[in-house]
Chain A
Amino acid sequence: MPSLKDLRNRIASVKATQKITKAMQMVAAAKLRRAQNAAEAARPYAELMDKVLASLASKIGDGSPAPALLAGTGRDNVHLLVVCTAERGLCGAFNSSIARLARDAAISLAGQGKTVKILCVGKKGNDLLRRQFERQIIEVVDLRGVRSLGFDNADAIGRKIVSMFEAGEFDVCTLFFSRFRSVIAQIPTAQQLIPLALGGAANGAAPQAVYDYEPDEEEILATLLPRNISIQVLRALLENAASEQGARMSAMDNASRNAGEMIKKQTMKYNRSRQAMITKELIEIISGAEAL
């Protein structure tokens, strides 16, 4: 049975924790709004890029061979997994669910006899995967110092991926990140980057007017494809940032609520034992007086 002082201390410490989690929740809510706006602002560019690439790719299909970034190398022996996670914890299952998806993919690929290489973006992914895949992790990109994610950050990663591809270090590249559905729902997603998986847009596109190309289609496609990779990375990073804040917000909301419950329970216990002590003292006094 803890003493009254112990109980008082415990209540005070839970209250302090609750203050911290509440503050974190509010910070996450403010950051979430910003991250969400950034993710939405990036959408038109990515959508237009998809449209343009789809229409270019449909034209280039016949005759000349498609560029390797679009069609792949024709092999799928070496897979590169780009795992985007957060830099910080305390955001519920956010990091671990992305890492789990990547881990499952890596294990099943390894089971098929493929070589797996992993590029971690964000410290947490590295922490979670390091133990199991120490030799497969080839690089860790650290974004801790970055205050606001911009195209530059994504471009650096995109260029790294492209230069590795051109050096023939892998055949297939997949991007792992968390898609932002809502504050309470973030969906870990795997997206294939190389060879490019063009959505249904290519088939569904209405027959278009005859375009002039300056320079010709192949050259445009050759400049657009590496850029598209950077754009996809940027989109993944922005979606991830929004998801992270959403996950942190709901995790901290839960934590504050739990702390509140704990305070209630402990306070009840404290009051009970205080009352019991008073009653005990009274009984002692009364029975002492009666004995006289």
Chain B
Amino acid sequence: MAAFHFELVSPEKLVFSGDVDSVVVAGVEGEFTVLKDHAPLMSTLKPGVVEISAAPATKLRYFVRGGFADVAPGGFTILAERAIPLDEFDATRLAADVKDAEEDVADAKSDEARRLATEKRDQLLELKAALKI
């Protein structure tokens, strides 16, 4: 397959940059796959998994939230508030994290702490939902 340039950028760093064969992303209006010479497109993304297929049968999966995709003639770029490699997660650890977060919400003393804890729990739940695909 023909390769094209793809970048996954988060505010804190350039997460991925390189030539890839295809990228599957979850847009707000549905999942789509980008191949070489895709028509120019801008789309906001749902929290979900981005799957990158590069040359010799390697697949990289990232969980992306707060994302935005820009398919330009020169290449494909995703801007994401957060991009986490999925290898860092497994089901048991995630379940434990969710449980922790729920306990934090229950224990939170101030409004601010509760808001933070709730946010964290929601993020973990989103991640869990995304992984079930």
Provide the residues of chain A in CB contact with B9, threshold 8 Å: 44-45, 48
CB <8 Å contact, B79 and A209: no
Closest CB in chain A relative to B81 CB, distance in Å: 6
Q: A212-B42, A215-B29, A220-B42 are in contact. Are A234 and B79 (CB under 8 A)?
A: no
Q: A52-B70, A223-B44 are in contact. Are A151 and B29 (CB under 8 A)?
A: no
CB <8 Å contact, B77 and A151: no
Q: A41-B13, A49-B79, A151-B10 are in contact. Are A227 and B72 (CB under 8 A)?
A: no
Provide the residues of chain B in CB contact with A219, threshold 8 Å: 44
Q: Smallest CB-CB separation from B39: which chain A residue?
A: A212
Which A residues from 41 to 58 make CB contacts under 8 A with B?
Answer: 41-42, 44-46, 48-49, 52, 56
CB <8 Å contact, A214 and B27: yes
CB <8 Å contact, B12 and A38: yes
- Which single member of A150, A224, A230 contacts B12 (CB below 8 Å)? A150
Which B residues from 6 to 41 make CB contacts under 8 A with A?
Answer: 7, 9-14, 27-29, 39-41
Q: 0/1 per residue, A196-223, Cβ < 8 Å to B?
A: 0000000000001111111100011001
Provide the residues of chain A in CB contact with B79, threshold 8 Å: 45, 48-49, 52
CB <8 Å contact, B41 and A220: no
CB <8 Å contact, A227 and B42: no
Task: Say if the beta carbon of A120 comes within 8 Å of chain B.
Answer: no
Task: Say if the beta carbon of A249 comes within 8 Å of chain B.
Answer: no
Provide the residues of chain B in CB contact with A38, threshold 8 Å: 12
Task: Say if the beta carbon of A231 comes within 8 Å of chain B.
Answer: yes
CB <8 Å contact, A209 and B11: no
Q: Smallest CB-CB separation from A155: which chain B residue?
A: B81
The secondary-structure label for the interface of chain B is strand
Q: A45-B79, A209-B73, A214-B27 are in contact. Are A52 and B42 (CB under 8 A)?
A: yes
Q: 0/1 per residue, B30-62, Cβ < 8 Å to A?
A: 000000000111111000000000000000000
Closest CB in chain A relative to B131 CB, distance in Å: 22
Chain A count of residues within 8 A CB distance of the other chain = 30
Question: Which of A44, A49, A219, A231 gathers most chain B CB within 10 Å?
Answer: A44
Provide the residues of chain A in CB contact with B40, threshold 8 Å: 208-212
Q: Smallest CB-CB separation from B73: which chain A residue?
A: A209
Provide the residues of chain B in CB contact with A213, threshold 8 Å: 41-43
Closest CB in chain B relative to A41 CB, distance in Å: 4
Q: Smallest CB-CB separation from B81: which chain A residue?
A: A151
Q: 0/1 per residue, B70-102, Cβ < 8 Å to A?
A: 101100010101100000000000000000000
CB <8 Å contact, B14 and A214: no
Closest CB in chain A relative to B39 CB, distance in Å: 6
CB <8 Å contact, B68 and A151: no
Provide the residues of chain B in CB contact with A42, threshold 8 Å: 11-13
Q: Smallest CB-CB separation from A43: which chain B residue?
A: B14
Chain A residues packing against B (C-beta within 8 Å):
38, 41-42, 44-46, 48-49, 52, 56, 150-151, 154-155, 208-215, 219-220, 223-224, 227, 230-231, 234
What are the 6 closest A-B residue pairs judged by CB atoms, nearest first?
A: A214-B43, A41-B13, A212-B41, A209-B40, A151-B11, A211-B40
Q: Can you list 9 A-B pairs with a CB-CB distance of less than 8 A?
A: A41-B13, A48-B9, A48-B77, A52-B70, A151-B12, A209-B72, A211-B41, A212-B40, A220-B68
